[in-house]
Amino acid sequence: MNESLFQGKLVRLCAVDKEKDAELWAKWNMDSDYVRLLDIGPSYLYPKKQIEDWIEEIKDNQSEFSIRSIADDKTIGDIGLDDFDWTAGNAWVGIGIGDADFRGKGYGTEAMRLLLQYAFEELNLHRVNLSVFEFNKRAIRSYEKCGFKYEGIMREFIYKDDKRWDLWNMGILHSEWQELYALETAQTAQV
């Protein structure tokens, strides 16, 4: 049995810190490329107070975590589940690595795997969805690595830079996650 559900090798998932995280998120929002990859709405510099209010509004119909790097105990991003459908066992995941030094190095991928473990092994979800902008290639690679499969393309959903872009949809089933997990565990055992 896992000692800690939220503990990985590179990162751990922990509670959101209203004041400290709001300050970080406000800082990350200054990186407009980051927000353009993350948010469906227009990028915007929300005042810290507004972000704090948003954090405070997170209730038990949502599940939001800070992602902390284990080596230097630094908050590097956030991840969460939202839009739960408990009848079908379905929810949507969103993730952002706000600290640019930690992008493209497997931190986000591991955070996603921890989250999927929580979603499937503890919440007993049947599937997890996500949508990603077609121009976010780094995220797409990470989602593929986590086992997400392509479920379709919403054509011309996004309007930015006077162009229309597609919104990709991906999903992973509980059974698919279990197969992947069993395979990885077996491979680790062989090594």
Partner 1 sequence: MLGKSLYVGETVELTAIDTEKDAATFSKWTERSSFFRRFTDGMFRIIPEHEMKKKLAEKLKNAEEKRNAYYFAIRKKEDAALIGFACIGWTIPAHQVGGIQIDFGEESDLVNFGDEVMRLMLRYGFMEAGLHRLMTTFPTYETEQIALFERSGFLREVQHREAAYHEGRYWDKVEYALLKPEYKKQYHEEAK
Q: Is 90 in the site for partner 1 (CB under 8 A)?
A: yes
Minimum separation from the CB atom of position 158 to partner 1 (A):
6
Q: Which residues, numbered 121-150, are part of the site for partner 1 (CB under 8 A)?
A: 126-127, 129
Q: Is 113 in the site for partner 1 (CB under 8 A)?
A: no
* 51, 18 Cβ separation under 8 angstroms: no
Binding residue (CB under 8 A) for partner 1 from 6, 46, 157, 181: 157
CA 34/CA 100 separation, integer angstroms = 9
* 18, 72 Cβ separation under 8 angstroms: no
86 versus 104: smaller Cβ distance to partner 1: 86
CA 149/CA 121 separation, integer angstroms = 19
If we measure between CA atoms, which residue out of 37, 22, 31, 8 comes closest to residue 96? 37
89 versus 94: smaller Cβ distance to partner 1: 89
Q: Is 12 in the site for partner 1 (CB under 8 A)?
A: no
End-to-end CA distance of the chain: 20
37 versus 70: smaller Cβ distance to partner 1: 37
Binding residue (CB under 8 A) for partner 1 from 14, 30, 154, 182: 154
67 versus 116: smaller Cβ distance to partner 1: 116
Q: Is 179 in the site for partner 1 (CB under 8 A)?
A: no
Q: Is 155 in the site for partner 1 (CB under 8 A)?
A: yes
Minimum separation from the CB atom of position 43 to partner 1 (A):
10
Window 28-67: contact mask with partner 1 (x via CB under 8 A): ------------xxx-------------------------
User: Which residues fall within 8 angstroms of residue 127, CB to CB, at 6 or more apart?
Assistant: 88, 89, 90, 171, 172, 173, 174
Token digits of residue 124: 């007993």
147-183 b/e with 16+ CB inside 10 Å = b? Answer: bbeeeeeeeeebeeeeeebbbbbbbbbbebbeebbee
Binding site for partner 1 (CB under 8 A): 40-42, 85-90, 126-127, 129, 151-159, 164, 169, 171, 173
